[in-house]
């Protein structure tokens, strides 16, 4: 086995603890050498987890700069609150640490440019840990697209459709950053789960790019009703006016002519779905009914209303992505149906080779910029907003994404 990579983990809320437990501590080739959080109980819990796993006790600090100053640290993983992600990532790159940053939306276009320029000035790599790019269904559909089964892709849809009323409503008690974001902002605040796999299908930043968007938001009613029911009228937040619309719809136009529809739906009762939907000239895939529809195969009936959907499982044998074929043979591990293990594994492999990040700063900037641009569009009644070219023209010649 090669020498152990020494990691510093910054941010130890739910996500940080989950990745620590399921994706970093089980790996024999990784040593978690330092942990950081502003809350003492969180960092103490993380330290005890590392010790229980049989590793040396890590440096345990409330100041991330102590970790960045440690010469033995090979890479850092940032899983702090949304508003601190990109600033911390830039500081880590300036300190010469290969960096991974968890998903979320950017607060300004300037933050996105800072991420890109810091990478370009330092030569240090930074990876966005978008696990959905490594989802089994998402990679199978990417494989189908690249095999030409769906023809020329015209339109894609995706969503973050997740009932988060409990998490948002009790955010102050649970020290979760979503509460104040939902109280004071309205827009597509969590775009990368749905957009990342779509960007790979459409070659965004790699022969294609996003040009403009428009966003509109519904009224905000779900949290108020939920709080009245769960906490009662005397609870202060029950009478607060939350800014975040219950459903936010964002339409994006791409340079090659495709359209993308993103839906944020997190404060009403519903089942979980990312609504992955890819539609081309020869067929389509739809996540919500786990189906594929192919032209001249599924519409060959006497009565058109009897056209049928095929269960996507029928295509596993011929279309399963090679990454998942290997993974299934080795054994699926980690959280979120195995996606976490794959995305962190890709990051660690890139660190070992000091190779470009599989999901790099240009992807991170483009995908995360949707949040602040959406917020502006919503505030202006659905006005179109230009999406910057963070590659500065390099998208014309960059190679297609490979997991």
The 10s digit of each residue's pLDDT in 47-75 is: 999 999 999 999 999 999 999 999 999 99
pLDDT score for 307: 61
Domains contained in the chain, number: 2
Q: Are residues 109 and 233 in the same domain?
A: no
Residue with tokens 């939306």: 105
- Looking at the structure, do residues 167 and 58 belong to the same domain, yes or no? no
Strand order across the 210-217 sheet: 310-311, 291-294, 283-286, 277-280, 153-161, 259-265, 247-254, 210-217, 385-386
Q: What value does the mean pLDDT of the chain take?
A: 95
What pLDDT sits at residue 302? 52
Query: pLDDT for 263-318, tens place per residue?
Result: 999 999 999 999 999 999 999 999 999 999 999 888 866 555 556 778 999 999 99
Cα separation, 8 vs 353, whole angstroms? 18
Cα 86 from chain centre: 14
Model pLDDT, residue 389: 98
Report yes or no on 343 lying in a domain.
no
Task: For residue 41, tell me if it sits in a domain.
Answer: yes
CA 330 to chain centre: 25
**139 and 22 housed in the same domain:** no
Whether 156 and 170 map to the same domain: the answer is yes
**Lowest-confidence pick of 150-164, 169-183, 229-243, 344-358:** 169-183
Q: Residue 110: how many CA atoms within 13 Å on its side-chain side?
A: 0
| CATH number (domain holding residue 91) | 3.40.50.720
Q: Is residue 104 domain-shared with residue 235, that is, in the same domain?
A: no
Contact assessment for residue 11 and residue 38, using Cβ atoms and an 8 Å cutoff: no
In a domain, 402, yes or no: no
CB 393 within 8 A of CB 255: no
Q: Which domain holds residue 317?
A: 133-322+359-396
- Residue 190: band (very low, low, confident or very high) from pLDDT cuts 50, 70, 90: very high
Q: In the predicted model, is pLDDT for residue 383 greater than 70?
A: yes
Percentage above 90 pLDDT, the chain: 92
State the CATH number of the domain containing residue 220: 3.30.360.10
139 in the same domain as 68: no
Strands 59-61 and 75-78: unpaired
Residue 261 lies in a domain: yes
Please give the pLDDT value at position 1.
Answer: 41
Domain boundary among 131, 156, 178: 131
Q: Coil, strand or helix: which one is 138?
A: helix
> Same domain for 73 and 221?
no
**pLDDT value, residue 71:** 97
- Rounded Cα–Cα distance for residues 10 and 61 (Å): 9
Final residue of a domain: which of 131, 147, 181? 131
Are 43 and 173 found together in one domain?
no
Q: Which of 385, 365, 373, 372 is nearest to 212 (CA)?
A: 385
The Cα-based distances of 246 to 163, 382, 400 in angstroms read 10, 16, 35
28 and 152 inside one domain: no
pTM value surpassing 0.85? yes
CB 22 within 8 A of CB 341: yes
pLDDT tens for 130-183 read: 999 999 999 999 999 999 999 999 999 999 999 999 999 998 988 888 999 999
Q: How far is CA 88 from the centre of its chain?
A: 17
| 308 and 203 within one domain | yes
């Amino acid at each position: 086995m090669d020498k152990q990579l020494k990691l510093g983990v910054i941010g130890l809320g739910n996500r940080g603890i989950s990745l620590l437990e399921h994706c970093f501590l089980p790996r024999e080739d990784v040593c978690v050498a330092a942990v950081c959080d502003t809350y003492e109980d969180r960092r103490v819990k993380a330290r005890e987890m590392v010790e229980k796993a049989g590793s040396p006790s890590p440096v345990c600090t409330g100041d991330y700069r102590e970790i960045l100053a440690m010469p033995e640290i090979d890479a850092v993983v940032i899983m702090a609150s949304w508003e601190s992600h990109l600033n911390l990532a830039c500081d880590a790159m300036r300190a010469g640490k290969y960096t991974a940053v968890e998903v979320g939306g950017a607060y300004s276009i300037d933050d996105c440019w800072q991420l890109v320029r810091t990478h370009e000035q330092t030569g240090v790599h930074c990876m966005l840990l978008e696990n959905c790019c490594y989802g089994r269904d998402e990679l199978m559909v990417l494989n189908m697209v690249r095999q030409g089964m769906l023809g020329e892709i015209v339109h894609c849809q995706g969503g973050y459709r997740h009932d988060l009323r409990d998490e948002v409503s009790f955010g102050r008690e649970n020290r979760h950053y979503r509460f104040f974001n939902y109280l004071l902002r309205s827009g597509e605040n969590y775009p990368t789960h749905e957009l990342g796999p779509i960007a790979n299908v459409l070659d965004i930043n790699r022969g294609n790019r996003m040009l403009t968007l428009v966003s509109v938001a519904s009224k905000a009613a779900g949290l108020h009703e939920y709080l009245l029911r769960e906490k009662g009228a005397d609870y202060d937040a029950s009478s607060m006016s939350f800014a975040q619309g219950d459903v936010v719809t964002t339409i994006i136009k791409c340079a090659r002519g495709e359209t993308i529809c993103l839906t944020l739906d997190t404060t009403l009762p519903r089942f979980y779905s990312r609504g992955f939907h890819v539609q081309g000239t020869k067929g389509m895939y739809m996540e919500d009914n786990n189906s594929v529809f192919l032209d001249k195969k599924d519409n060959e009936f006497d009565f058109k209303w009897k056209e049928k959907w095929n269960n996507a499982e029928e295509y596993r044998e011929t279309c399963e992505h090679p990454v998942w074929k290997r993974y299934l043979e080795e054994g699926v591990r980690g959280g979120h149906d195995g996606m976490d293990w794959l995305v962190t594994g890709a990051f660690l492999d890139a660190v070992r080779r000091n190779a470009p990040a599989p999901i790099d700063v240009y992807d991170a900037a483009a995908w995360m910029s949707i949040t602040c641009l959406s917020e502006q569009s919503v505030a202006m009644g659905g006005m179109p907003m230009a999406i910057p070219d963070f590659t500065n023209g390099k998208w014309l010649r960059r190679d297609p994404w490979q997991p």
